[in-house]
Chain A
Amino acid sequence: MKFTSYLNLQQLLKHKIDSKEQRRTFGLDDKIQKLSPTQQLEAWEQSHKAKLPTPRFAEQVTLYLSGLTRLSLGISFVLGIFSGLALLNYNGTSPVNVIYFMMVALFFPLLSLLVTLVSLFKVKQKKQHYGLEKLLDYLPFKREHKGLELTLDSLVYNWLFMQRAQLASLLFALGVLCTLLLTVVTQDIAFAWSTTLKISPEMFHSFLELLSSPWKTWMPSAVPSYELVEQSQYFRLGGKLEEQMLNHASQLGEWWKFLAMSTLVYVVGLRVLLYFLLTYQFTTILDKSAHKLAGAKELLAQINEPIIHTQAVEHEVAMAPTPAHKIHQAKALEEGYDVIHGWDMDKENLALLVDVMQVKSQSRYTLGGSHTLAQDSHTIALAKGSVLVYVKAWEPPTMDFMDYLEALLAVATRVTISPIGTQTQAYEAKEKERAIWHKKLSSIEDEKLWIKG
Chain B
Amino acid sequence: MDKGVKMHPKFAVVGHPNKGKSSIVSALALDDTVKVSDVPGTTTKRRSFPLSVDGKILYELLDTPGFQRSRHVLAWLEAHNDVSADKRHTVVEAFIQTHKDDPKFNDEIELLTPIMEGAGIIYVVDGSKPYGKEYEAQMEILRWTGQPSMALINHIDEEDYSAEWKRALGHYFKMVRTFNPMLRDKAEHIRILESMAQLNEEWTDAVKSSIGLLETYQEQMVKKSANSIATLLADALSLIEKQPLSSTPPQEEAKTALAESYKTHLRQQESKNQQKIERIWNHSHVEKEQALLAFDAVDLFSKDAAYVFGLTRKELLVTGVTSGAVTGAGFDLLFAGHTLLLGGAIGAVVGGVGAYLGFEELSEVKVLGQKLGKRYMQIGPMKNRNFPYILLGRALYHAYHIATRSHAVRSVEELTMDTSFKTRWLTEQRAKVLEKCHKKFRSKEENKALFEVYETVIEEILTELIAG
Which residues from chain A sit less than 8 Å from chain B, CB to CB? 21, 24-25, 28, 292, 301, 305-317, 319, 344, 346, 368-370, 372-373, 392, 394-400, 403, 422, 424, 432, 435-436, 439-440
Asked if A316 contacts B220 (CB within 8 A), the reply is no
Q: Could you say which residues of chain A place their CB within 8 Å of the CB of B71?
A: 368, 372-373, 400
**How many whole Å from B442's CB to the nearest CB in chain A?**
20
Q: Could you say which residues of chain B place their CB within 8 Å of the CB of A394?
A: 126, 129
- CB closest chain-A residue, reference B41: A319
**How many whole Å from B363's CB to the nearest CB in chain A?**
26
Cα–Cα, bound, A292→B39 (Å): 54
Which of B45-53, B87-95, B340-348, B378-386 is the contact stretch?
A: B45-53
Q: Could you say which residues of chain B place their CB within 8 Å of the CB of A309?
A: 50-53
User: Can you list 8 A-B pairs with a CB-CB distance of less than 8 A?
Assistant: A301-B223, A310-B49, A310-B51, A314-B47, A368-B71, A370-B133, A395-B129, A397-B40
Q: Could you say which residues of chain B place their CB within 8 Å of the CB of A24?
A: 54
The 8 Å CB contact of B70, one of A392, A400, A435, is: A400
Which of B29-37, B248-256, B318-326, B431-439 is the contact stretch?
A: B29-37
Asked if B159 contacts A422 (CB within 8 A), the reply is yes
- CB closest chain-A residue, reference B35: A316
Asked if B70 contacts A305 (CB within 8 A), the reply is no
Asked if A311 contacts B33 (CB within 8 A), the reply is yes
- CB closest chain-B residue, reference A343: B134
Asked if A395 contacts B132 (CB within 8 A), the reply is yes
**How many whole Å from A73's CB to the nearest CB in chain B?**
35
Cα–Cα, bound, A104→B387 (Å): 61
Asked if A396 contacts B17 (CB within 8 A), the reply is yes
Cα–Cα, bound, A369→B52 (Å): 40
- CB closest chain-B residue, reference A291: B448
Asked if B133 contacts A312 (CB within 8 A), the reply is no
Q: Could you say which residues of chain B place their CB within 8 Å of the CB of A403?
A: 69, 72
- CB closest chain-A residue, reference B47: A312
- CB closest chain-B residue, reference A24: B54
Is B357 engaged at the interface, CB distance under 8 Å to the other chain?
no
Asked if A312 contacts B34 (CB within 8 A), the reply is yes
The 8 Å CB contact of A398, one of B44, B49, B68, is: B68
Is B419 engaged at the interface, CB distance under 8 Å to the other chain?
no
Asked if B39 contacts A439 (CB within 8 A), the reply is yes
Is B216 engaged at the interface, CB distance under 8 Å to the other chain?
yes
Asked if B53 contacts A311 (CB within 8 A), the reply is no
Cα–Cα, bound, A24→B53 (Å): 11
Question: Restricting to B60-82, which residues have a CB under 8 Å from any CB of A?
Answer: 66-72, 75
Asked if B45 contacts A317 (CB within 8 A), the reply is yes
Cα–Cα, bound, A317→B159 (Å): 33
Is B213 engaged at the interface, CB distance under 8 Å to the other chain?
yes
Is B155 engaged at the interface, CB distance under 8 Å to the other chain?
no
The 8 Å CB contact of A292, one of B17, B104, B136, B448, is: B448
Q: Could you say which residues of chain A place their CB within 8 Å of the CB of B133?
A: 344, 346, 369-370
Q: Could you say which residues of chain B place their CB within 8 Å of the CB of A369?
A: 132-134
Q: Could you say which residues of chain A place their CB within 8 Å of the CB of B335?
A: none
The 8 Å CB contact of B29, one of A301, A310, A315, A399, is: A310
Asked if B216 contacts A308 (CB within 8 A), the reply is yes
Q: A396-B17, A399-B107, A436-B38 are in contact. List 8 more A-B contacts (CB 8 A).
A: A306-B213, A307-B52, A310-B50, A370-B134, A372-B75, A395-B16, A403-B72, A436-B40
Asked if A310 contacts B47 (CB within 8 A), the reply is no
Cα–Cα, bound, A392→B18 (Å): 14
The 6 closest A-B pairs by CB, nearest first: A396-B40, A399-B68, A369-B133, A370-B133, A311-B31, A308-B217
Most chain B CB inside 10 Å of its own CB: which residue of A309, A368, A373, A396: A309
Asked if B54 contacts A398 (CB within 8 A), the reply is no
Asked if B29 contacts A306 (CB within 8 A), the reply is no
Is B269 engaged at the interface, CB distance under 8 Å to the other chain?
no
Q: Is the interface of A mostly helix, strand, loop or mixed?
A: loop
**How many whole Å from B96's CB to the nearest CB in chain A?**
18
Question: Restricting to B431-462, which residues have a CB under 8 Å from any CB of A?
Answer: 448-449
Q: Could you say which residues of chain A place their CB within 8 Å of the CB of B195?
A: none
Q: Could you say which residues of chain A place their CB within 8 Å of the CB of B126?
A: 394
Is B373 engaged at the interface, CB distance under 8 Å to the other chain?
no
Asked if B51 contacts A398 (CB within 8 A), the reply is no
Cα–Cα, bound, A403→B68 (Å): 10
Is B282 engaged at the interface, CB distance under 8 Å to the other chain?
yes
Which residues from chain B sit less than 8 Å from chain A, CB to CB? 16-18, 29-31, 33-35, 38-45, 47-55, 66-72, 75, 104, 107, 126, 129-130, 132-134, 136, 159, 213-214, 216-217, 220, 223, 282, 448-449
Q: Could you say which residues of chain B place their CB within 8 Å of the CB of A317?
A: 44-45
Q: Could you say which residues of chain B place their CB within 8 Å of the CB of A424?
A: 159
Q: Could you say which residues of chain B place their CB within 8 Å of the CB of A432?
A: 38
Cα–Cα, bound, A395→B52 (Å): 36
Cα–Cα, bound, A394→B19 (Å): 10
Asked if B40 contacts A312 (CB within 8 A), the reply is no
- CB closest chain-A residue, reference B22: A316
Contacts A306-B54, A440-B40; A311 near B30 (Cβ below 8 A): yes
Cα–Cα, bound, A316→B45 (Å): 8
Q: Could you say which residues of chain B place their CB within 8 Å of the CB of A435?
A: 38
Q: Could you say which residues of chain A place their CB within 8 Å of the CB of B214?
A: 308
Asked if A422 contacts B70 (CB within 8 A), the reply is no
- CB closest chain-A residue, reference B161: A422
Asked if B130 contacts A422 (CB within 8 A), the reply is yes
**How many whole Å from A294's CB to the nearest CB in chain B?**
9
**How many whole Å from B52's CB to the nearest CB in chain A?**
5
- CB closest chain-B residue, reference A27: B54
- CB closest chain-A residue, reference B156: A394
Q: Could you say which residues of chain B place their CB within 8 Å of the CB of A368?
A: 71, 134
**How many whole Å from A275's CB to the nearest CB in chain B?**
29
Q: Could you say which residues of chain A place their CB within 8 Å of the CB of B104?
A: 399
- CB closest chain-A residue, reference B104: A399
**How many whole Å from B37's CB to the nearest CB in chain A?**
9
Q: Could you say which residues of chain B place their CB within 8 Å of the CB of A315?
A: 33
Q: Could you say which residues of chain B place their CB within 8 Å of the CB of A392?
A: 132
**How many whole Å from B448's CB to the nearest CB in chain A?**
5
- CB closest chain-B residue, reference A322: B41
Asked if A28 contacts B134 (CB within 8 A), the reply is no
Asked if A310 contacts B72 (CB within 8 A), the reply is no
Q: Could you say which residues of chain A place their CB within 8 Å of the CB of B449?
A: 292
Cα–Cα, bound, A312→B46 (Å): 11
Q: Could you say which residues of chain A place their CB within 8 Å of the CB of B54?
A: 24-25, 28, 306-307
Asked if A319 contacts B44 (CB within 8 A), the reply is yes
Asked if A400 contacts B68 (CB within 8 A), the reply is yes
The 8 Å CB contact of B48, one of A25, A306, A312, A399, is: A312
- CB closest chain-B residue, reference A436: B38
- CB closest chain-B residue, reference A292: B448
- CB closest chain-A residue, reference B135: A369
Asked if A344 contacts B75 (CB within 8 A), the reply is no
Most chain B CB inside 10 Å of its own CB: which residue of A306, A312, A368: A312
Asked if B220 contacts A398 (CB within 8 A), the reply is no
The 8 Å CB contact of A316, one of B33, B130, B213, is: B33
Most chain B CB inside 10 Å of its own CB: which residue of A368, A399, A439: A399
Cα–Cα, bound, A346→B214 (Å): 46
The 8 Å CB contact of B51, one of A308, A370, A436, is: A308
Asked if B29 contacts A311 (CB within 8 A), the reply is yes
Q: Could you say which residues of chain A place their CB within 8 Å of the CB of B220?
A: 305, 308
Q: Could you say which residues of chain A place their CB within 8 Å of the CB of B216?
A: 305-306, 308
Q: Could you say which residues of chain A place their CB within 8 Å of the CB of B42?
A: 319
Asked if A398 contacts B17 (CB within 8 A), the reply is yes
Asked if A373 contacts B72 (CB within 8 A), the reply is yes
Cα–Cα, bound, A397→B48 (Å): 26
**How many whole Å from B425's CB to the nearest CB in chain A?**
24
Cα–Cα, bound, A24→B223 (Å): 18
Cα–Cα, bound, A400→B40 (Å): 13
- CB closest chain-A residue, reference B446: A151
Cα–Cα, bound, A312→B51 (Å): 9
Asked if A398 contacts B40 (CB within 8 A), the reply is yes
